[in-house]
Amino acid sequence: MEPRVKKTWKQVDGVLLLDKPLGMSSNDALQKARRLFSAAKGGHTGTLDPLATGLLPLCFGEATKFSADLLDADKVYEADIQLGVTTDSGDAEGQITAMAAVNLEIGQISAVLERFTGDISQVPPMHSALKRDGRPLYELARQGIEVEREARAVTIHHTDLLAFACDRLKIRVACSKGTYIRVLAADIGRALGCGAHLAGLRRSGVGDLTLVGSVTLAQLDALPEAERLAFLQPVDALLQSLPSVQLDGEAMQRFRHGNPVDLPTGLAGKIRVYADGRLIGVGEPGRENRLWPKRLVQLAL
């Protein structure tokens, strides 16, 4: 038996736009990608259910400092909805609880989708990772226990009807964080009078990031490790929606060492800060109307 070779981890900095496969948890996908890059440090920007495919932005090295910035970002999904079949989980993994004939016209579909646009309320499903007394709700659901959940406010920015045939419906949903698409599917089915569940889900957008430039684990695995680096986006890929400022000289040195600098006129909120065209951190307006460092980047020069 050959001795096991110890894995050598290294500093890898950047953002990977992963096209997550079906059936894999976000953490398993992260760990697989991290090993493929031999990245010493990695994190993700929010989970994607195992039953969903699509965009899962992963952060390595210095980019992990900004992973939380995408937690509040809007999302875009493409959802396949099975009409006429209701399940206890709201998705295809659940037990069927009701079945009904489907006899709908596209005008009825469009009218109902319009009702689920804008600010709406959703009751989180029992089959979710939300916790009650320290235990995830899905653990209680597996034991046949159901507890009361408070409705939450979410925003559906727009819903596009992509396809409708017989008892299958496909929609594109742009929504706020915290939106449960399987709850949306079940609510749409209830409003149509036939019931429904989520049959398939693919995420195509997170904030300003899309599947353009994304890569699968299988594609990465087929490449030599050195060639995989070409798929890494720069550390500031998560921050493109923020205004930016360039610093040099004394101001650059002050900011790098955690000290405030003069705040450029007209800028507010979180601000990307660069020196010589390279991201050195993110700052926010603070005391004395100055730009204060909030997160600093340590990249090799």
- The conformational region for residue 157 under phi > 0 = left, psi -120 to 50 = alpha, else beta, is alpha
DSSP lists the bridge partners of residue 181 as: none
Helix (H, G, I), strand (E, B) or coil at 218: helix
Q: Which residue type, as a one-letter code, is found at position 89? A: S
Q: Which residue has tokens 């929606």?
A: 241
Instruction: State how far the alpha carbon of 111 is from the alpha carbons of 63, 107, 116, 173, in Å.
Output: 43, 6, 9, 15
Gap between the Cα atoms of 197 and 226, Å rounded? 43
Tokens 């939380």, residue?
A: 68
**8-state DSSP, 234:** P
The radius of gyration computed from the CA coordinates of the chain, to the nearest angstrom, equals: 23
Distance CA 207, CA 226 (A): 29
Alpha-carbon distance 274 to 102, whole Å? Answer: 57
Active-site pick, 19, 49, 91, 236 = 49
Give dist(CA 284, CA 111) in Å, integer: 44
Whether 133 is catalytic? no
Using CA atoms, how far apart are residues 264 and 268, in angstroms rounded to an integer?
A: 9
The tokens describing 165, both together, are 């045939």
Give the separation between CA 80 and CA 169, rounded to whole angstroms. Answer: 6
Which residues are bridge partners to 63 per DSSP? Answer: none
Q: At what angle do helices 106-115 and 181-192 cross, to 10 degrees?
A: 130
Catalytic positions are 49
